Amino acid sequence: MKLMKQLFSSLFIAGAMLSTQALAEEKTAEQAQPQTQVQQQTALQAPSQTVQQTVSDKLNINTASASDIQKALIGIGAKKAEAIVQYREKHGNFTVAEQLLEVQGIGKATLEKNRDRIVF
């Protein structure tokens, strides 16, 4: 009986130590995450609009606001971002990246810089 109590006590202590170690490793892993993963987690905790706008560091050009477009795309300022939103509202959602060339102020060079940053 005494042996059983010692065995259970040892198992309990070992379990507690393993649990504590696992929590510490998890905490360390969370602190070591790259900034983009932290931003993704923040986006998931934010309102659903933000979640719809980004998919693993890519911008959904059909749901993003002008502000989000300006922040996420290279060479796109406030006026071009607003032009993208206005074009989308007038002509409907974008289905291919080449449609951005129809937006005034967006050229081939700008499209190529951002092609990999955009989802539909």
Q: What is the pLDDT along the chain (120 residues), one digit of tens a residue?
A: 776 667 566 655 755 565 556 555 665 555 555 544 445 454 444 444 444 444 468 999 999 999 999 999 999 999 999 999 999 999 999 999 999 999 999 999 999 999 999 999
At 11 the pLDDT is 56
What's the pTM? 0.55
Of 110, 120, 112, residue with least CA distance to 70: 110
Take residue 107 and report the two structure tokens written for it: 């050229």
- Tokens 């967006």 found at: 106
